[in-house]
Each structure stands twice: as C-alpha cells, then as structure tokens.
C-alpha cells in the first residue's frame, strides 16, 4: 500500500512539473554568458538581450553585487540558481517576467533600545553600530534607537563623546537592548605626545597641558595660535596687529632672552615646523610642554617651552569623511570719535586765535559746508571670511591612510587687504609585517597675503595713521577723478584710499613638510624608529606702486627667499613591565638638523611707461634697483636619552639628558648639556586614600631641569666682513672691511627651572584641577656692549647678565550640572613675575627708538631689580600759566634733562584669567569664551599722535577738542592747543586691562538616525570679539605693535591695524 502511494505521488509531481509552461520554457531557453564573475546589472542585461524574459525588482536589489557562474552556454534555470541560490535574493518566474525580491534571513532581526547615562538621562546623538559593519544609527532626543537586519551573533557598539564606549553581544531571542553609559574615567589614562614618544597622561611627572582637536575647532579661528589663546594656563598669546595673516606673539612662562627668539619651539608630527601651514581642522591634538622636565629633551631650543602638534593620522576602520565649512562677516569693532568738518574748522580757528594768527574759516564758510569726510568709513569695510576643509580617512589592518584639503580666505577690514591659504595633507601607515611599519606624512600649503602699510612709522606715513589725521574737509579725489595728493601738506600724509588701490604689497609663500619613518619592533617592548623630514619654505614679495598714485612714476621690487631644513631622528625605545608593579621605559637616540637660507632681491626700480607689466618687466624701468642677496647655514647634532620608572602607578620617576652640538658657537663652546629630573607621587593610590570614593586622583609633581637658547645668528662667533665704499687711488670703490662688531668666546644662554605641581580629580573625574608653581633663571644672557674706540670696534657681543621668571598657574575644569541639562565650566589663571638680576656693569639696556614725529625717544628698558621691558620716561606735573605741560624734576638740576626720567609703566600683566562655559540641552549647546588680562600697561603712540597736533593741523579726537586747557578750564585733561613741545611721558601710559567676550556660539547637533550617509552633523552660529570691557581709549588693548621673537619693544600701540568683530555661520559633517 505504501509503495502504491509513493508511485501515485511521483506521477502527480511529475505531471505538475511537466504541465508548468514557465519551467519548461526555462529548461528549453539557453543563454551564453562567458564571464564567470559578473555583476547583477550585467547579468540582467545579458539575459534580457538573449531571451524574451524581463526582470522586475526594486531599489533594494544590489545591482553592483558580483555573482559567480560556471560560464558558457547554459539553461536559464541553471543560471538563475547559480546566481541567487544561497543568497538573500529570491526569484520567481511569472509569465515572461523574472521577479527579484530581497528577503530577510531568519537569523536577522530588528533590535531597539534606549541609551542613558548614569543619572538616567537620555543620551542624544550616541552612535549605535553593529560591530564590523556599516549598519548603524544614532539615538534620538529620547535616547532611543532601532537597528534592522542584526545577525544573531552580532555585537552592538555604543559610543558617545565624554563617555566610555560600551559593547554588548546579541542574545538569541532578544529584540530589545538598553545601554547605560558611564562617564569616561580613562581621561587620565589617555596617551599624550611627549618629546620623541608618547606617554600615558596619568604617568606624567612634568607640566604638560593637552588640548584635543575638537577643542581647537570649537570656535572659528584664523590660526592655530589664536585657537590656543586662553586655553592653557601659563601661556600668553597676543596679536601684533589685526591684519589677516599677521604674526602672533606666544610666551610660555614669560620671556627669557634679550636677543634670542622668545617664541616656543613648534613641533609638527615630531619635527620642527611652521604653524602657518596648518589648518585648525587638521589637528588631532596639541601638547604644551612648560617645565624643564618636559622640555629639556629638546635641549638648546627648549627654554621658551615646546608646543607639539599632531595632525589627524591614518586609522584602521571604514572610510570616514569629515567636512567643515564656515562663512563669516567681519567689521570694525569700534569707530574712534574724531572731529567732523564743522568741528574741525572751529578747531583750526581756535588754534589760530591762540597763536594770534588770522582766522582760517569764516562763519559763512563753516555754515555753507555741506560735506564731511569720515575717513574711517572710507578705509574700512565689511569683509568676508570663509573656511572649508575636508578629511578622508580609513584603512585595513595592514594599510591605513588619510587625505585632507583646506581652503581659507580672509578679506581684511581695510580695503584691498587679505590673506588666502590652501593646504593639502596626507598620511599613510603600511604594516609590512607585525614587526615592521612604514609611515609618512606630507603637508603642502600655499598662501597669498596682500599686506597694508598699516602701522608704526611717523605720523601720517601709514595707511592707518593718515586715515585718522586727514582733515574731514578733504576728499579722496579731485574734481577730475584723480587721487587727491596730500604730500604738499606740512605733515605729508599718504592718501589712504590711493595707497590701498594703487600700491600692491603682495607676499606669496609655498611651504612643504614631508617626513617618513621606518619602525621596527624585533621583540616585545623594543621599538627602533628611523625617521627623516624635509622642510622647504619659499616666499616671494612683489611690491608695485602704479602710475596712478599721486606723483608716482611707477616703482617696483621683487624679493625672493628660500629656507630648506633637513632633520633626522633616530630613536630606540624599550618598555618593560616586571614583577607586576614595576614598569620601565628607556629611550635613547641621536638627531641631526640642518637649515640653509637664501634671499635675493631686485632692489626698487622706478620709472615705468605703463602699469601693464607691474613687476614682470623690471628691465623697463628708467632707474634700476640695486640687487641684494644673502646666505646663511647652521647645523645641530644631538644625543638624547630619557628614563621613566613607574612603581605600582604610585611612584613615578623621570630623568633625561640631551647634548647639543651647534655650528653657531666657536670651538670650546660648541656643546651644551641639558639634564632634567622629575618625580611624582600619586597619593590616591596609597592605602589610606584608596577607598575614598570621591577622590578620583591626587598626584604631586616635582621637577628640575636645564634648557638653553642659542640666541645668536649663525656667524656671530666668527670674524665677518662687510662692504663699504672706500677711496683708492683717488677713486671710490667697493671693498670688504672688517665688521665693527667684535666677536668673542660666547657661551650658551642657559635656563634652569624648578617646578612643583599637583593634579587633583574628584567625583569620578567630574571636577579636575591642575596647579603649578615654577621658578626659572636664565644666565649668560647675550647682548651687544659698547667697546672703546681705541679697540677699532663699536660693539662686542657678550654674555652680560641674568633674569628670573617665577609664577603660579591654575587650571580648573568641571561639569557643574550633569542631567538633561549639562553645564561645563573651565577656568585658568596665570601669574608671572620677571626680574632682571644681573647686567654688565649694571648698565641699563634700552629697546629700539620709537618715532612718530610727535615723540621720538627710547621707551622700553631693562634695569637690574626691575621687571623686563618696563616703560621709561618723564612724569607730568600739571600745566604752567599758559596751559603747557610741566614735567617733574627728579634731581637737583633745575633744567629738565634725561636724568629726570624714571620708570613710568610696566607692560607685563599682573595675571591672566580665562573662562570657558558651555550649556547643552537636547542637541543644543550654548558656549562662551571670556579672555582677560589684568594689570598690564600700554604706551599708546596712537593716542599721542591723535592728541598732539604739533602744528600740522591734522584731525584730532573729539575728547581733545572739548577738554583742552583754557583759562576757564585750567584742570583740563589735555594741554593748550598751541603746545608744540612734547616728551615721552606718563600721559600716554594707559591701563591695558581688559575682559573680552572672545567667542560666543550656539550650536545644534542634528539627529542623523534616518540618514544612511550622514553620521554626525553640527550647525552653528558664532560671534568673535563681541565686546570688550576696558578703559583703554583706542581701538584694541590686546595689541602689541612691535611684538615679536626677540623684540625688546613691548606693550606699544602704534597705529595698529585694528581687530575685527566677526559673525560666523558654519557646519561640521561626518559621513
């Protein structure tokens, strides 16, 4: 009976199969596909071309998928089986149509859940990802998420900034998974970059501050240095002026040298580099090394601190694209109140009356005047600033790479000024084997800078100065449209509009930094790294004054410069843990550095027939320029070593030594030796504090070390020659003669520094504090001293003295509120006191002479027992019976002489305080950054030039006109208008203290859960330099016109290009 049933079933099945026309047609239909590997798209096209069948499918079918076939001529049914069997695509024949449908396998499911923090608040925007895939999403406003097509054996990863990552494996039958994220307690365990290596942050025994890339890019900034402003205690960052692309002065724990460069050493990816080639969006982290324990490993270049920049490096993982864009509008933050045309005419009449001169303007002329030129509004403009950057990174376990590009364009608020920078950056890691890795970094940047003659000089000779003194009764153009020429007036100011339109002062710079390294790890814990770097900086300056400029016949000059630097670092590192509680790290190696600089210039040529060629046909000039050129070369060879010892994360010891051999010094002093030692004690690991729940970390640090500064140019210790015109056989000829500076046996400038500090973290690292006290002394200061005429020299370079800097730093960070509303607050405090200890024969050293026509004298002074760079001048003592200034007599001599000068101000701040705050709620973040400097003085040559006319009839401030001395107002703020003799006095020493809202930003993190492409998106609006609270009457108290590496002229405002107020909108996207 059973056998009969089997026969009947077989007959029925066979009959049904034979009766199916579609199956029969498939079996009879053949297709010829030669390829064994073919995409679904090409397979579908081939079948439809060779048969009467058409395919029907939706967008879920991956047409780019590659399927495997046997190849050749086959039945269509066999081809379909080979292509779709054992896949997630099902097919069905319906007439002459082949229907394709994506099916979900039984092992995949949808997982939903909620992500919260330890307080039970929803975590918005957390990343939820199926590990090892691109299948992911982000949490919504309620912390909820939903993941589809999750395999049975999958692992779910959840990450969010500020929290420790969390992973959970999918359990069979579970459709819901919830996550509670803990605040990232690994903050102190993160790895930071140190000199020639990396180290756990919790193991640091020196004073090192770390700033992550997301903090650097938190606000829109035009440079890396400005992005660091106020972020790190003990670091003072100040603009030299507000011009786009202008220099920024950086001081780490004060200044240490008279002649040497007081700027810190900037290290980019392990090698000295130029920060002007770096876009802030390219930065992974910045480490600021402040004490000698951290900086001594850099020896003769570590005295001024070291700042390490690490750009975004190649990492393993799927390809990630980051795009940043911002657009801003800049404007003059403050307009000075000058006289208008009617006030100006009355002002000149009053001056004439005081001097018993005829009236200049009649009442009728004053009343009939219809025009008043506001020169500030003629010169300044609303200017655009744009910034774009993109970074692509990713890789496999064996090869990782990143490629980035950026474009920055900042128009200046002075017309025609501006700065543009384009950069390209790449990095690559290739793991040849588990023992050998090859890495490379490349950065290229090109910048264009149209620079204005905007500050300093005699009154009226700069664009800014002339804008403020030109009469409001004058106009930029004559009636025929040509430029007005003011050179015939007594003060001979330039026409600022003519200058910015008709004079080009363009700088071009190409910078390349390329390095490669070979890392070998032959055994566990041992690393041998051989690396080399090439820096090439090329610059060109094109100057051209057109024929349209008043009284110009055309003038042009070109200057070229190139610096090539080669660096080789060869480092061996060995790390070993033993006996459970002991960890030892030893590093040693040698480095070589060479730098060669060349310049060449055409000199200024004059007399051109046309403006068409500008600087491209210098030979067409009727008066040729005098060519110039220069060359310099220096080399540095170094040995270095460092030992770190860690016992049970409780006792930490560090010792380092570097020996530098420099080509700058003469035989016998070529080598300098720079040791350091540091110790740290983590009390929180002691048994008596280990169980204190609210104490996360407590560590005391102590360090001492020696660093140095070369402070001299490459040939300062050699007898050099200079050219001079001499008469020989009644003819004048050019000859070489000995230099008038005597060279002697010079020593290195050496800075020894003691540092004691404490690191404290409370309540699971919710509150953090770092405090440091330091005391450093620089000896063997280098400077020129006068020589007796009998020696045949005018000056000699000598080691002449010593100075001391001491101070206190405090950094506080914490999350004040940590619920649905989150409030983060950070404060840093810096105090530095400098003192001149020794100078040669106790003789004062003056800074360079200042001259703005009104005042001409030396101002800054170094004197034993005083702070560095104090102001030196006369003290005013009221007015005489004519309203003229009286100066205080400081000695028994009745005459006012240079002996009556005294210290009248100090440009060094008493302390710096900076505050950052951020409040976030459901994706919105409102953040602010307040910057302040308290107790510093400013000497304002700008105010002096505006207040004192010197008989030139220039415009002045309203305050001067309405508050000057008269018999009826004998206690006025300003003297009689006929005053023509002035001295550099305390009148123009102002309190430069200020509190500024540097940045204010409102940002929104856009939910991207429904997007297949965008992983993270933030949009923001921000304002920079929104307001400043200060008593300084001119444009900006945060300005240092003559600031620079070795400049002794500090705290001076001399018609500086003003800083702008900027409003910005932008976005940051991650794909």
Q: pLDDT, tens digit, for every residue of 589-624?
A: 999 999 999 999 999 999 999 999 899 988 899 999
**Closest-CA residue to 391 (of 342, 425, 442, 347):** 425
Residue 656, CA distances (Å) to 593, 638, 682 in order: 20, 13, 21
627 within a domain of the structure (yes/no):
yes
Q: Token match 């007081």: residue?
A: 262
CB 932 within 8 A of CB 996: yes
Q: How many CB atoms lie within 10 A of CB 378?
A: 16
The CATH number given to whatever domain includes residue 441 is 2.40.170.20
pLDDT of residue 951: 67
Query: Same structural domain for residues 297 and 348?
Result: no
**Closest-CA residue to 643 (of 657, 630, 633):** 657
Q: Of 1043 and 808, which is predicted with more confidence? A: 808
What secondary structure letter does DSSP report for 935?
S
- The arithmetic mean of pLDDT across residues 166-179, rounded, is 84
Residue 12 scores a pLDDT above 90: no
3-state SS of 706-762 is EEEECCCCCCCCCCCEEEEEEEECCEEEEEEEECCEECCCCCCEEEEEEEEEEEEEE
- The arithmetic mean of pLDDT across residues 974-982, rounded, is 84
pLDDT of residue 488: 62
Query: Same structural domain for residues 302 and 373?
Result: no
Q: Of 732 and 517, which is predicted with more confidence? A: 517
Residue 375 scores a pLDDT above 90: yes
Query: Same structural domain for residues 227 and 335?
Result: no
Strands 109-117 and 179-181: parallel
**Position 458 confidence tier, pLDDT thresholds 50, 70, 90:** low
Residue 6 scores a pLDDT above 70: no
CA 984 to mean position of chain CA atoms? 36
Query: Same structural domain for residues 167 and 201?
Result: no
Query: Same structural domain for residues 89 and 134?
Result: no
Residue 494 scores a pLDDT above 90: no
291, 306, 324 - which closes a domain: 324
With H, G, I as helix, E, B as strand and everything else as coil, classify residue 223.
Answer: coil
3-state SS of 358-423 is CCCCCHHHHHHCCCCCCHHHHHECCEEEEEEEEEEEEECCCEEEEEEEEEEEEECCECCCEEEEEE
CA 951 to mean position of chain CA atoms? 45
| Total domains in the fold of the chain | 4
CB within 8 A of 770, min separation 6: which ones?
209, 233, 757, 758, 759, 760, 809, 810, 811
CB 287 within 8 A of CB 210: yes
Query: Same structural domain for residues 295 and 342?
Result: no
What secondary structure letter does DSSP report for 85?
T
pLDDT of residue 68: 83
35 within a domain of the structure (yes/no):
yes
Question: What percentage of the chain exceeds 70 in pLDDT?
Answer: 94
480 within a domain of the structure (yes/no):
no
The Cα–Cα gap between 803 and 809 comes to 20
CB 442 within 8 A of CB 496: no
588, exposed or middle or buried, with CB in 10 Å at 0-12, 13-18, 19+?
middle
What is the average pLDDT value for the chain, to the nearest integer? 87
The CATH number given to whatever domain includes residue 145 is 2.60.40.4130
Terminal CA-CA length for the chain: 68
Q: What is the DSSP string of 296-336?
A: GGGGGG-TT-EEEEEE----SEEEEEEEEEEEEEEEES---
Query: Same structural domain for residues 237 and 342?
Result: no
**Closest-CA residue to 412 (of 440, 454, 474):** 454
pLDDT of residue 455: 55
pLDDT of residue 454: 62
Range(s) of the domain holding residue 159:
109-181
CB within 8 A of 1011, min separation 6: which ones?
none
Residue 109 scores a pLDDT above 70: yes
Q: Token match 């060519």: residue?
A: 627
562 within a domain of the structure (yes/no):
yes
Beta bridge partner(s), residue 125: none
pLDDT, one tens digit per residue, over 753-807 is: 999 999 999 988 889 999 999 999 999 999 888 888 777 788 888 889 999 999 9
- The arithmetic mean of pLDDT across residues 118-131, rounded, is 81
With H, G, I as helix, E, B as strand and everything else as coil, classify residue 275.
Answer: helix
139, 154, 181 - which closes a domain: 181
Q: Token match 């070589």: residue?
A: 592
Structure tokens at 423: 């950069």
CA 1001 to mean position of chain CA atoms? 19
**Sign, Cα dihedral of 334, 340, 345, 349:** negative
Backbone angles phi, psi at 947, to 5 degrees: -85, -30
The CATH number given to whatever domain includes residue 251 is 2.170.130.10
Residue 239, CA distances (Å) to 222, 333, 366 in order: 12, 15, 42
**Closest-CA residue to 761 (of 664, 832, 824, 696):** 696
pLDDT of residue 492: 72
The Cα–Cα gap between 195 and 299 comes to 11
Q: Is the pTM of this model over 0.75?
A: yes
pLDDT of residue 195: 87
The CATH number given to whatever domain includes residue 26 is 3.55.50.30
**Position 17 confidence tier, pLDDT thresholds 50, 70, 90:** very low
Q: How many CB atoms lie within 10 A of CB 306?
A: 26
CB 322 within 8 A of CB 1070: yes
Query: Same structural domain for residues 582 and 728?
Result: yes
Residue 230, CA distances (Å) to 226, 234, 775 in order: 9, 9, 22
Residue 199, CA distances (Å) to 31, 190, 573, 578, 645 in order: 65, 8, 12, 18, 12
Residue 942 scores a pLDDT above 60: yes
426 within a domain of the structure (yes/no):
no
pLDDT, one tens digit per residue, over 204-254 is: 888 999 898 888 888 878 888 888 988 999 999 988 788 888 878 899 999
Residue 15 scores a pLDDT above 60: no
The Cα–Cα gap between 988 and 99 comes to 88
Residue 728 scores a pLDDT above 80: no
Q: How many CB atoms lie within 10 A of CB 363?
A: 11
pLDDT of residue 318: 83
The CB-side HSE value for 266 (13 A sphere, CA atoms) comes to 17
Residue 473 scores a pLDDT above 90: yes
Query: Same structural domain for residues 193 and 253?
Result: yes
**Closest-CA residue to 711 (of 611, 776, 778):** 778
477 within a domain of the structure (yes/no):
no
pLDDT of residue 579: 87
Residue 413 scores a pLDDT above 90: yes
pLDDT of residue 213: 86
Q: What is the DSSP string of 608-625?
A: -S-SSSGGG-GGG-SB--
Structure tokens at 347: 């002002």
CB 446 within 8 A of CB 421: yes
Residue 1027 scores a pLDDT above 80: yes
With H, G, I as helix, E, B as strand and everything else as coil, classify residue 40.
Answer: helix
The Cα–Cα gap between 755 and 463 comes to 47
Query: Same structural domain for residues 635 and 698?
Result: yes
Residue 658 scores a pLDDT above 90: yes
Q: Of 459 and 39, which is predicted with more confidence? A: 39
281, 306, 324 - which closes a domain: 324
Structure tokens at 290: 């402040």
- The arithmetic mean of pLDDT across residues 182-203, rounded, is 75
Query: Same structural domain for residues 206 and 67?
Result: no
**Position 489 confidence tier, pLDDT thresholds 50, 70, 90:** low
pLDDT, one tens digit per residue, over 709-726 is: 887 888 888 878 777 877
pLDDT of residue 965: 93
Query: Same structural domain for residues 358 and 379?
Result: yes
Q: Of all helices (H) and strands (E), which one includes residue 194?
A: strand 191-194
Structure tokens at 533: 């770097």
Q: Token match 């007898």: residue?
A: 719
Structure tokens at 905: 């101000």
With H, G, I as helix, E, B as strand and everything else as coil, classify residue 969.
Answer: strand
486 within a domain of the structure (yes/no):
no
481 within a domain of the structure (yes/no):
no
DSSP H helices in 649-794: none
Structure tokens at 896: 């006012």
């Amino acid at each position: 009976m059973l056998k009969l049933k089997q026969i009947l079933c077989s007959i029925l099945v066979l009959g049904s199969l034979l009766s199916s026309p579609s199956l029969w047609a498939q079996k009879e239909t053949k297709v010829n596909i030669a390829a064994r590997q073919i995409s679904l798209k090409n397979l579908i096209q081939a079948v439809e071309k060779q048969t009467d069948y058409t395919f029907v499918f939706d967008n879920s079918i991956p047409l780019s998928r590659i399927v495997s076939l046997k190849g050749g001529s086959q039945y269509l049914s066999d081809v379909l089986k080979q292509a779709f069997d054992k896949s997630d695509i099902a097919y069905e024949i319906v007439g002459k149509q082949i229907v394709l449908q994506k099916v979900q396998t039984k092992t995949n499911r949808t997982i939903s859940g909620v992500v919260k923090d330890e307080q039970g608040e929803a975590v918005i925007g957390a990343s939820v990802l199926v590990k090892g895939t691109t299948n992911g999403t982000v949490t919504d406003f309620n912390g909820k998420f939903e993941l589809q097509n999750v395999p049975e054996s999958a692992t779910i990863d959840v990450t969010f900034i500020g929290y420790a990552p969390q992973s959970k494996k999918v359990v069979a039958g579970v459709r819901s998974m919830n996550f509670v994220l803990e605040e990232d307690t690994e903050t102190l365990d993160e790895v930071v970059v140190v000199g020639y290596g990396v180290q756990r942050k919790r193991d640091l025994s020196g004073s090192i501050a770390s700033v992550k890339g997301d903090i650097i890019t938190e606000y829109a900034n035009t440079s890396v240095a400005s992005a660091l402003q106020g972020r790190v205690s003990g670091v003072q960052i100040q603009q030299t002026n507000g011009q786009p692309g202008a220099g920024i002065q950086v001081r780490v724990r004060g200044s240490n040298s008279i002649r040497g460069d007081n700027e810190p050493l900037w290290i980019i990816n392990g090698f000295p580099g130029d920060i002007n080639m770096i876009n802030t969006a390219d930065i992974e982290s910045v480490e600021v090394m402040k004490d000698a324990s951290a900086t001594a490993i850099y020896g003769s270049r570590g005295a001024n601190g070291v700042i390490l920049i690490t750009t975004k490096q190649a990492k393993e993982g799927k390809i990630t694209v980051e795009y940043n864009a911002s657009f801003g509008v800049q404007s003059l933050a403050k307009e000075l109140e000058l006289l208008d045309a009617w006030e100006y005419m009355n002002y000149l009449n009053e001056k004439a009356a005081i001097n018993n001169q005829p009236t200049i303007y009649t009442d009728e002329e004053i009343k009939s005047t219809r025009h008043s030129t506001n020169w500030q509004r003629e010169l300044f403009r609303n200017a655009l600033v744009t910034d774009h950057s993109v970074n692509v990174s990713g890789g496999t376990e064996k090869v990782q790479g990143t490629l980035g590009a950026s474009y920055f364009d900042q128009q200046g608020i002075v017309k025609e000024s501006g700065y543009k920078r384009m950069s390209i950056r790449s990095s690559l890691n290739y793991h040849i084997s588990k023992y050998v890795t090859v890495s490379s970094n490349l950065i290229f940047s090109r910048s264009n800078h149209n620079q204005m003659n905007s500050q300093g000089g005699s009154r009226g000779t700069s664009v800014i100065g002339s804008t403020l003194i030109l009469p409001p009764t004058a106009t930029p153009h004559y009636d025929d449209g040509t430029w007005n020429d003011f050179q015939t007036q007594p003060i001979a100011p330039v026409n600022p509009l003519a200058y910015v339109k008709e004079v080009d002062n363009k700088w071009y710079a190409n910078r390349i930094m390329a390095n490669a390294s070979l890392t070998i790890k032959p055994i566990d814990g041992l690393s041998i790294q051989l690396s080399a770097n090439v820096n090439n900086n090329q610059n060109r300056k094109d100057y051209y004054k057109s024929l349209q400029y008043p009284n110009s016949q055309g003038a042009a000059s070109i200057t070229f410069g190139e610096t090539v630097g080669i660096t080789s670092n060869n480092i061996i590192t060995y790390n070993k843990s033993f006996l459970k509680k002991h960890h030892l790290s030893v590093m040693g190696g040698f480095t070589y550095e060479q730098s060669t600089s060349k310049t060449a210039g055409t000199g200024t040529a004059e007399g051109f027939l046309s403006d068409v060629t500008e600087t491209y046909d210098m030979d067409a000039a009727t008066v040729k320029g005098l060519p110039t050129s220069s060359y310099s070369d220096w080399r540095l060879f170094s040995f270095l070593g460092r030992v770190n010892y860690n016992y049970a994360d409780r006792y930490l010891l560090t010792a380092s030594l570097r020996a530098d051999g420099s080509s700058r010094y003469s035989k016998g002093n070529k080598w300098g030796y720079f040791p350091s030692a540091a110790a740290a004690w983590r009390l929180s690991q002691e048994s008596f504090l280990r169980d204190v729940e609210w104490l996360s970390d407590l560590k005391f640090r102590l360090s001492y070390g020696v660093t140095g500064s070369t402070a001299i140019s490459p040939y300062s210790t050699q007898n050099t020659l200079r050219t001079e015109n001499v008469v020989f056989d009644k003819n004048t000829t050019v000859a070489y003669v000995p230099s008038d500076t005597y060279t002697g046996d010079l020593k290195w400038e050496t800075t020894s520094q003691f540092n004691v500090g404490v690191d404290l973290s409370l309540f699971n690292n919710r509150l953090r504090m770092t405090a440091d006290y330091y005391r450093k002394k620089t000896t063997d200061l280098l400077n020129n001293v006068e020589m007796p005429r009998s020696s045949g020299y005018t000056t000699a370079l000598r080691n002449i003295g010593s100075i001391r800097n001491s101070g206190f730093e405090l950094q506080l960070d914490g999350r004040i509120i940590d619920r649905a509303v989150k409030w983060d607050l950070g404060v840093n405090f810096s105090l530095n006191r400098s003192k001149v200890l020794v100078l040669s024969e106790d003789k004062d050293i003056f800074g360079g002479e200042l001259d703005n026509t009104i005042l001409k004298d030396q101002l800054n002074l170094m004197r034993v027992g005083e702070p560095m760079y104090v102001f030196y001048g006369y003290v005013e003592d009221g007015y005489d019976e004519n309203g003229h200034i009286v100066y205080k007599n400081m000695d028994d001599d009745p005459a006012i002489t240079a002996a009556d000068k005294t210290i009248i101000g100090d440009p060094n701040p008493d302390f710096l305080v900076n505050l950052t705050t951020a409040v976030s709620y459901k994706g919105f973040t409102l953040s602010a950054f307040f910057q302040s400097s308290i107790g510093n003085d400013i000497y304002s040559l700008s105010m002096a030039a505006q207040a004192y006319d010197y008989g030139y009839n220039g415009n002045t401030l309203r305050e001067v006109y309405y508050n000057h001395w008269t018999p009826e107002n004998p206690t006025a703020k300003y003297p009689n208008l006929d005053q023509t003799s002035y001295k550099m006095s305390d009148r123009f020493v102002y309190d430069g203290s200020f509190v500024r809202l540097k940045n204010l930003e409102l940002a929104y993190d856009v939910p991207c859960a429904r997007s297949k492409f965008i992983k993270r998106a933030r949009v923001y609006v921000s304002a920079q330099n929104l307001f400043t609270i200060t008593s300084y009457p001119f444009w900006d108290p945060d300005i240092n016109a003559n600031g620079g590496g070795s400049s002794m002229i500090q705290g001076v405002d001399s018609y500086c290009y003003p800083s702008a107020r900027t409003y910005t909108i932008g976005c940051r996207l991650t794909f």
